[in-house]
Amino acid sequence: MKTETLMFPKAPPAGLVEYAESFAEAEHGLLYEAVWLPDMSLEALLTDTAGKKVKYVRCRCSCCGEETIMNWSPLGDPKIRYGFIDYEVDGVAGSGDVINCPACGARVRVKKAAELKRFGYFTTDEIAVTSASVIGKGRNLVLSMWVIERRIYRDLTEKLVAKPAEAYVFSADDCQKYSAQATIYGGNYGYKTAYQPYWKTAKQWSESWGYEDKIFGLTPELIEQSCLPNCKLDVYMKTFEGMVHKYPVAYLRLYQAHPNVENLLLNGLPLVLDEMIESNAGTTKWEEKNNRGTPRLTGINWNEMRPAQMLGLTKEELRQGQRMGWGEYFWRLYTGAKQHGEVLTRDTFEAIHKLGEEHLLDLVGEAPIKKIVRYLWKQYNKATYMSMDYEDEYGDPPDWGFPDGSMLGDYWRMCRKIGRDLNDMMVRFPKNLIDAHDEMSEAVKLWAQKEQMKSLQESFKKRFATLEQYCFEYESLFIIPARTPELLMDEANQQDHCVWSYADKHADGRSAIFFIRRTAAPDMSYFTLEFDEGRKTVRQNRGHHNRGRTKEVQEFEKLWLDWVRNGCRRDGDGKPILPGTQKVQVPA
């Protein structure tokens, strides 16, 4: 691909900015500056000091244009020095904070007027948009990535400005990435992203833009005019719209490597394709690992052209999957069971769906899936009746969890660990899974105390050094990784669940176990969380006796995940800075 023939523009196509503004959630600006005004407060009137000038703060909103006088207040940040009292949250607001405008209530980002300096504006929010075009004699298909800034000027004028960030230029069988982004460093602001007036490129590159829900200018006619007339990118972007994110660069690279992927999209199981691309390109490791943006989809026979054979199905099985809307989970479950001589029926899938069971893939080959599902239904019903009886007798719901595939898999894994015979059906399928799981948890704890404690010490120490960056505290809760095997054992004892059985996985990096505690009782176990470091997701979060999250814990978990995915930002004192604000969040 000759770069000199690809003179694609860095100016946005007509209508792009208006398109972005149509779906953007506007974040306006609030400029503030110190002013001296006569003190007409009640205290001043009572002490005969009325009229004496005191320091206030004048705020001007770019949304409503109103001017509001607020009480001046010092700030601990020496660069900002002062702010104003935000009565809505009973705190002090300063540059970088996002609050509601005191006059109109609109969402605004606060900026000290003196900080505008020579630029004359500041940026509130940014909108990421992708556009499609065809350029050059080779009819190259170009996906251009734009960052659209909302600028707030001194006179409160708002303006959207589009900056080119990346461009992916596709030929018939290759792709080249161009970037206008650069990370620069300044003594006053640290590291930041800047946009250059020229394109940079390299032979080896990784796709870094990620997902996009819509592409401006993408039409069937545009695709037909390009060098990839049969790629069906427009169809891919519209299939199951809103259900999962779309990764257009990854899809096109997949199409270039395997043109028969369009058969899966049009006549196969498109949701399976969607979710498999998502499971590749949607991970935090994608940008580090992908080579020139091509995903690796396992389990598909690319040597076949017919969708059924590509997916390891017969025509009738494919039709069944299409009727039932199989995603990757059901498809892998069906084909996995089929490899072990079992054919799953619609009734089984409906039972799995009603159970909300998401953990059966790990159990394929352990026992027939139909038998497992029937067993879990019986255990679920038994636990339901027991819970109802408990609540009738004591007035409150019990704190034990409901049996599921994860609990059954944990139980089997623990049985193997201490040498129980799973060929005995009474052992493999106990009458009461919850009780058997608890008994096995206790047995594993005792076994582990004797066999593992010493060997895990050094590994836990190294893991804590790696995971310490995720320590976080907010209001009445904090989260911290397991520091030592003794503390993990204590967590299991306090919680009456099987977290100790995760000791090996935590030690060797296959899992990450965290403790959620109350700041008022830091040594008392509250909830135990398993974290996926690669995907930055929570695998499970259970309280005493495997009970589910409380609303308080759900909100804390979401806040912590947002902070982790935003880079675990901290201020100079090591205190966490939540996404969307420059304010340090100090526990009450």
Q: What is the pLDDT of residues 274-286, one digit of tens each?
A: 999 999 998 888 8
- Tens of pLDDT, residue by residue over 65-85, are 999 999 999 987 888 889 999
- Tens of pLDDT, residue by residue over 15-62, are 999 998 888 888 999 999 999 988 867 776 677 767 788 899 999 999
- Tens of pLDDT, residue by residue over 512-535, are 999 999 999 999 999 999 999 999
Q: How far apart are CA 141 and CA 42, in angstroms?
A: 69
Beta carbons of 504 and 447 less than 8 angstroms apart: no
Q: What is the DSSP letter of 306?
A: S
Mean pLDDT of 96-113: 94
- What percent of the chain shows pLDDT beyond 90? 66
- Tens of pLDDT, residue by residue over 454-487, are 888 899 999 999 999 999 999 999 999 999 999 9
Q: What is the DSSP letter of 81?
A: -
The pLDDT assigned to 588 comes to: 41
- Burial code (b: 16+ CB inside 10 Å, e: under 16) for 251-275 equals bbbbbbebebbbbbbeebbbbbbbb
Q: Would you put residue 559 in left (φ > 0), alpha (ψ -120 to 50) or beta? A: alpha
User: In sequence order, which residues have a C-beta less than 8 Å from that of residue 556 and are 6 or more positions away?
Assistant: 474, 477, 479, 516
Most confident of the ranges 5-9, 207-211, 436-440: 436-440
Kindly state the tokens that stand for 158: 């708002």
Distance (Å) of CA 283 to CA 147, 243, 293: 22, 17, 13
User: In sequence order, which residues have a C-beta less than 8 Å from that of residue 516 and are 6 or more positions away?
Assistant: 477, 478, 479, 526, 527, 528, 529, 541, 553, 556, 557
Task: Tell me the pLDDT of the chain averaged across its residues.
Answer: 89
Q: How far apart are CA 134 and CA 117, in angstroms?
A: 41
Q: Is the pTM of this model over 0.85?
A: no
Q: How confident is the model at residue 386 (pLDDT cuts 50, 70, 90)?
A: confident
Kindly state the tokens that stand for 464: 């804590």
Sheet of 512-518, strands arranged across: 472-474, 477-481, 512-518, 527-532, 537-542
Distance (Å) of CA 300 to CA 83, 168, 176, 294, 311: 59, 26, 26, 15, 5
Query: What is the Rg, in whole angstroms, of the alpha carbon atoms belonging to the chain?
Result: 29
The yes-or-no verdict on residue 587 having pLDDT over 50 is no
User: If you write DSSP's letter for every residue of 105-140 in order, what string do you get?
Assistant: --EEEEEEGGG-TTT-EEEEEEEEEEEEEEETTTTE
Q: How confident is the model at residue 117 (pLDDT cuts 50, 70, 90)?
A: confident
Any idea which residue has 């503390």 for tokens? 487
The pLDDT assigned to 5 comes to: 41
Kindly state the tokens that stand for 106: 């609109």
The yes-or-no verdict on residue 449 having pLDDT over 60 is yes
The yes-or-no verdict on residue 494 having pLDDT over 50 is yes
Q: How far apart are CA 7 and CA 1, in angstroms?
A: 12
The yes-or-no verdict on residue 235 having pLDDT over 90 is yes
Mean pLDDT of 151-159: 94
User: In sequence order, which residues have a C-beta less than 8 Å from that of residue 514 and are 6 or more positions away?
Assistant: 467, 470, 479, 480, 481, 482, 528, 529, 530, 531
Q: How far apart are CA 50 and CA 37, in angstroms?
A: 11
> 271 or 241, which is more confident?
271
In SS3 terms, 216-271 reads as: ECCCHHHHHHCCCCCCCHHHHHHCCCCCCCCCHHHHHHHHHHCCCHHHHHHHCCHH
- Burial of residue 479, with CB atoms counted within 10 A of its CB: 0-12 exposed, 13-18 middle, 19 or more buried: buried
- Name which of 41-45, 167-171, 218-222, 436-440 the model is least confident about: 41-45
Distance (Å) of CA 466 to CA 30, 77, 231, 533: 40, 30, 43, 11
In degrees and rounded to multiples of 5, residue 529 shows phi and psi of: -120, 135
User: In sequence order, which residues have a C-beta less than 8 Å from that of residue 280 and are 6 or more positions away?
Assistant: 250, 286, 290, 295, 296, 297
- Tens of pLDDT, residue by residue over 323-367, are 999 999 999 999 999 999 999 999 999 999 998 888 999 999 999
The pLDDT assigned to 45 comes to: 67
In degrees and rounded to multiples of 5, residue 470 shows phi and psi of: -90, 5
Within 10 angstroms of residue 95's Cβ, the number of other Cβ atoms is 22
Beta carbons of 131 and 215 less than 8 angstroms apart: yes
The domain spans of the chain are 3-8+126-289, 23-123, 371-446, 453-565
